[in-house]
């Protein structure tokens, strides 16, 4: 089963993707993880990406697509995958389609995790990120066992500058301007399924699992 998770920032794509991948025994593919791993391993693509990052620039789509192409060449995706963090706009969707065409991959479904602005602001403004392993926590929804310390690696937790309320609102405006074409693209392909992501993470997970079971009847769910 090959699933793409879409949704606004704060909808819980990363959290749901990890849990869903474990539940369905599928590979979890995150563009953020791919980027960090390439930089950490010092690959040619990672070095190139690091140069952009150190200059405070976004990693170009062309470079990210090369990393994705390599990732989709790995053997662990044989039984399927959960992709989150990409695509974010129509242009990236076309790039992803080109990658899938080269790898003879056909996605089964695109799940759009819809979330209200109020919930997104509440989630992101309380988000804490580990400066070592990148794990996410939340001041009220998922606090660390020890204040300011990552449960997983002991790293220091911090709040990203783009998780301030006013910045979040601006990010949402930009996102809404880009996502309409992306939604229509997958609707036209009859691949898109929308679910509310405003509820508790475990409840949302069960709704995604129920959707996959309804559509494909996978014995793994």
Active site residue 160: yes
Q: Quick one: tokens of 87?
A: 């695509």
Active site residue 88: yes
Q: Which residue among the candidates 160, 170, 176, 213 is catalytic per the annotation?
A: 160
Whole-angstrom Cα Rg for the chain: 17
Q: How far apart are CA 87 and CA 166, in angstroms?
A: 25
Q: Quick one: tokens of 157?
A: 């937790």
Q: Name the nearest CA neighbour of 207 among 67, 199, 120.
A: 199
141 and 200 Cβ atoms separated by less than 8 Å: no
Q: Which residue among the candidates 2, 19, 71, 127 is catalytic per the annotation?
A: 127
Q: Which residue among the candidates 23, 66, 88, 220 is catalytic per the annotation?
A: 88
Q: Which residue among the candidates 18, 50, 171, 191 is catalytic per the annotation?
A: 171
Active site residue 13: yes
Q: Which residue among the candidates 2, 13, 71, 123 is catalytic per the annotation?
A: 13
Q: Please identify every residue annotated as catalytic.
A: 13, 88, 127, 160, 171
């Amino acid at each position: 089963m090959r699933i793409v998770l879409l949704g606004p920032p704060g909808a819980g794509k990363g959290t749901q993707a990890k849990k869903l991948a474990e539940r369905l025994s599928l590979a979890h593919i995150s563009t953020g993880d791919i980027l960090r791993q390439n930089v950490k391993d010092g690959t040619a693509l990672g070095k190139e990406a690091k140069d952009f990052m150190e200059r405070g620039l976004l990693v170009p789509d062309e470079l990210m697509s090369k990393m994705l192409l390599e990732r989709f060449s790995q053997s662990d995706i044989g039984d399927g995958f959960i992709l989150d963090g990409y695509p974010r706009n129509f242009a990236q969707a076309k790039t992803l389609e080109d990658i899938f065409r080269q790898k003879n991959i056909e996605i089964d479904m695109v799940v759009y995790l819809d979330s209200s602005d109020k919930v997104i602001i509440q989630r992101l403004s309380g988000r804490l990120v580990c400066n070592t392993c990148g794990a996410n926590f939340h001041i009220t929804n998922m606090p660390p066992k020890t204040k300011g310390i990552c449960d997983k690696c002991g790293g220091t937790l911090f709040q990203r500058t783009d998780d301030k309320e006013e910045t979040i609102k601006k990010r949402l405006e930009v996102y809404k301007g880009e996502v309409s074409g992306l939604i229509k693209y997958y609707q036209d392909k009859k691949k898109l399924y929308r679910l509310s992501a405003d509820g508790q993470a475990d409840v949302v997970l069960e709704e995604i699992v129920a959707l996959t079971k309804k559509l494909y009847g996978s014995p793994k769910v």
